[in-house]
Amino acid sequence: MTLDIDQQWHHLAEAELLERLETSQKKGLDSFEAALRHEQFGFNRITQKKGTGPLKLFLLQFHQPLIYILLAAAIITSFLREWVDAGVIYGVVLVNAVIGFIQEAKAVKAIESLSQVMTNSATVMRDGERRQVSAEELVPGDIVLLQSGDKVPADLRLLTVRELQIDESALTGESVPAHKSSSILPADTQLADRTNMVYASTLVTYGVATGVVTATGDRSEIGRINELIASADILATPLTKKLATFSTLLLYIILGLAAITFAVGILRGEGWLDMFMAAVALAVGAIPEGLPAAVTITLAIGVNKMAQRNAIIRKLPAVETLGSTTVICSDKTGTLTQNQMTVQQIYAGGELFYLSGGGYEPVGAFTSNDNVITPQKHPALHECLMAGLMCNDANLLHIDNKWQIEGDPTEAALVVAAQKAGLQRSELLQHLPRLDAIPFESQYQYMATLHGDEERTVVYLKGALESLVPRCSLMLAADGDMHPLDPDDIHRQAEHMAEKGVRVLAFARLEPAGFTEELGHGSVGSGLTFLGLQGMIDPPREEAIRAIKVCLDAGIKIKMITGDHAVTAAAIARQIGLYGEQRADDEQLALTGGELAELSDDELIEATERTQVFARVAPEQKLRLVEALQARGHIVAMTGDGVNDAPALRQADIGVAMGISGTEVAKEAADMLLTDDNFSSIEAAVEEGRGVYDNLVKFIIWTLPTNLGEGLVILAAVFAGMRLPITPVQILWINMTTAVLLGLMLAFEPKEPGLMNRPPLDPRKPLLTGELILRIVLVGLLLLAGSFGLFDWQLRQGSNLAEARTCAVNIFVFGEIFYLFNCRSLRYSMFRIGLFSNRWVLAGVGLMVLLQLLFTYLPAMNSAFGSCPIGLTEWVVIIGASTIVYCVIECEKWIRRRRETLVRNS
């Protein structure tokens, strides 16, 4: 058998379909043919791609310039027989490698989760008999029988359908179960609208059906998603990109300066061993040993802060990426909205009523013309609500102080609306018990229930406007009397309601002439009384509205990508303020999946910039949208909860999965999970991410002047033909102790005010701007002048070499302490942000001072590091020089603020 996997099965007539698949609806495949096809098409399961082995994955963690520098530092310290320092550096490298390995190993589990979702059984026709087989044994052409509760085992084209409803939310993003039929559809019908197809991994929520297998395993829709996940790139974060570039540049600079140091010394006639040690000292001094540990710990602290705000980080770099985010692509249902259908408008008796309240809590008021009304005083409204309550199979339950539903969300919304008016179905059923019902069927598009006793019987109906209005001849007026029906007026009102994105249902009533206990389609074909329309929508979350405003003010663009209809999505977008101040038509503000399919890559890139809403979007289109935004240089955060979202989640700079409603596939592909499925938690995470990025930059700005100063001191000594002011072991002492006790304290720095009032970081902007580089050079030169000057002055005063070196070391340490207070804010003074707002800094400074006193005065430390006690005069000079560093940088910050103010006011 030859099978075209791109065949448009939804477009074929039943006879042609079965002929092409060479099967029979009544008998199915025979066992021999099934075995042949099994050989041809293989098992009905997802093929797991062979990934990078654990050993290689672990070794790749060392393939980074910064790690090369650290390994070089460790090798050098080992050469110097400083085993403790070497062990610390090796430990830092190993911890970073282990963390990276664990994070990447978790990421590849997404495809394994896809394989798991397809392991179930199926009921098929084989050799003319009904059989239960493993879903893995299904082949194209198998006839499969579905019933409520089944997981669809493969992609099927439906042949016979009875009231079938499928939960396709994991695949299409559609929040309401899809009603299925066996009707032939146009060839260009989008995936989400193919009502005669069902797909592997979706769930049967209601009804029964028979279908023929059209695709299995990797050829199924979920198999295609697997291919998209495997092909999606895992992008480096903005910080890791910048650090990689910076580290590579730093590596070349260090090697170059070390070579120059060695060469100059040799040319001056110095011994090669002394010059080699000088080059080693320069290299060790210039290497920021504490940087990888600081990055890891700062990100880990950010993870903890985000967890407190309902955002769980799976991959550490995602913390910083959030702070650089320029675009957030969000799903609609449950993230921006409450995922609780709510009746908001009712048209009855020629009047339009509005309902307040949201979700499933039956509390709210009815208003008309801005006046609160009592529903019982409006007969048409009361009867319309009663019809929605009686012609209904959903239940509203109050469990553990929470309102929950059983049944269809649309029907639940009708129950809540009726209970807001004081109606209780249990009480009504005592007087009007249900006698019979016609369940909803897609071919009729309505539901009807028969109620009453021998004294009175009544039929209530609800359904599509197109189905009920032609059956009505009268309408219930506002005063409770019967008036002739004006269908045009009803349609105009329905269109007006639909323009606001609400889902409109019509309600009608029939009072049979005599008592009957049976109800059929023929008995409700005509003579109905129109009762009204109810318009419902999944209302937006209030906190999401506030969060979107904060994001827009912060310069972050929000894109809604949903499986819902364009009109509904655009209406929600307006309500949550997604369009900002725009007043364009919906056609310019929303693009559908069908329209996206017609755009070239270049056209799509342009469209993503000017469009806020994308509706009825297929899985590969979500991936295209993310790639298009990234092509414009955006840092993209993508939210999702379904299997269909996984490829885009993996491709995005940061994938955000829903912790409550999300599938395992989505969670495994994501970098972050929202424990409350709420958009406001993304905004909170972005805010925390910006704070983390700020603190990382503060650490880098703080640590690099020390490395620069140490390197310059060694260079100056070599060029001047002097002894080294600081030895390699002393340099390691400075770098390791200050990085841990001083630099890492910046990771606890609280967020600065106005953090979300500034635009996102430009991903093309280098890690260090010109102004920051100037500050690093300025502080490095000040440390050079202080340490080299004091070292030279001490020698001229007759001090021994150990005293002079101890003074030089203390200049570096106390200069870093005073400069640390500068770095608590890159713009403001520590008094502006609060001297005691970060008590960790004060604790770190206290410990560092204590350690430095031990370094200077404890005999054991003197022996280990070549230091010795110094006098009060030297301490006065050290503190004075360090104070100058602080004052100079504060003046530089003041001048910069002043210049910015003048530019802003000019």
- Residues serving a catalytic function are 331
Q: How many residues does the chain have?
A: 906
The pairing of strands 636-640 and 327-330 is parallel
CB 617 within 8 A of CB 593: yes
The answer to whether residues 352 and 380 touch, using CB atoms and an 8 Å cutoff, is no
Compute the distance between CA of residue 322 and CA of residue 676 in angstroms, rounded to an integer.
18
3-state secondary structure of 352: strand
Helices (H) and strands (E) counted in the chain, each on its own, are 33, 28
Q: What single DSSP character describes residue 165?
A: E
The answer to whether 485 and 357 have CB atoms below 8 angstroms apart is no
Q: Residue 421 has what DSSP assignment?
A: T
- Say if CB 170 and CB 200 are below 8 A apart: no
Coarse DSSP helix, strand, coil percentages of the chain, rounded to the nearest 5 percent: 55, 15, 30
For residues 341 and 399, the answer to whether their CB atoms sit within 8 Å is no
Strand, helix or coil for residue 679: helix
474 burial type by CB count under 10 A (0-12 exposed, 13-18 middle, 19+ buried): middle
CA distance to 102, 324, 720, per residue, from 48 (Å): 20, 33, 64
Q: Which residue blocks in 362-463 are alpha helix, DSSP H?
A: 379-390, 409-420, 425-431
Give the span between the Cα atoms of 533 and 828, in whole angstroms: 60
Q: Please report, to the nearest 10 degrees, the dihedral formed by the alpha carbons of residues 334, 339, 345, 346 taken in order.
A: 160
Residues 56, 108, 561, 502, Cα dihedral to 10°: -170
CA triplet 341, 344, 349: central angle to 5 degrees?
130
Buried b (16+ CB within 10 A) or exposed e, 495-529: eebbebbbbbbbbbbbebeeeeeebeeebbeeebb
The structure tokens listed for 269 are 């006639």
In sequence order, what are the residues at sequence separation of 6 or more whose Cβ sits closer than 8 angstroms to the Cβ of residue 674? 310, 311, 312, 335, 639, 656, 657, 658, 659, 681, 682
What is the rounded distance in angstroms from the CA atom of residue 841 to the CA atom of residue 820? 8
- Of 867, 623, 889, the residue nearest 772 (C-alpha): 889
> Is residue 345 classed as helix, strand or coil in its secondary structure?
strand
Reduced to 3 states, what is the DSSP secondary structure of residue 198? strand
DSSP 501: T
> 18: part of which helix (H) or strand (E)?
helix 14-21
592-620 in b/e form (b: 16+ CB < 10 A) is bbbbbeebeeeebbebbeebbbbbbbbbb
Residue 578: C-alpha distances to residues 309, 407, 550, 681, 682 (Å): 23, 32, 11, 17, 15
Q: Do the strands 654-658 and 636-640 form a parallel or antiparallel pair, or are they unpaired?
A: parallel
How many angstroms separate the Cα of 494 from the Cα of each of 116, 300, 535?
A: 45, 53, 9
Closest CA to 833 of 843, 841, 825, 821: 825
Report the C-alpha gap between 50 and 84 in whole angstroms: 41
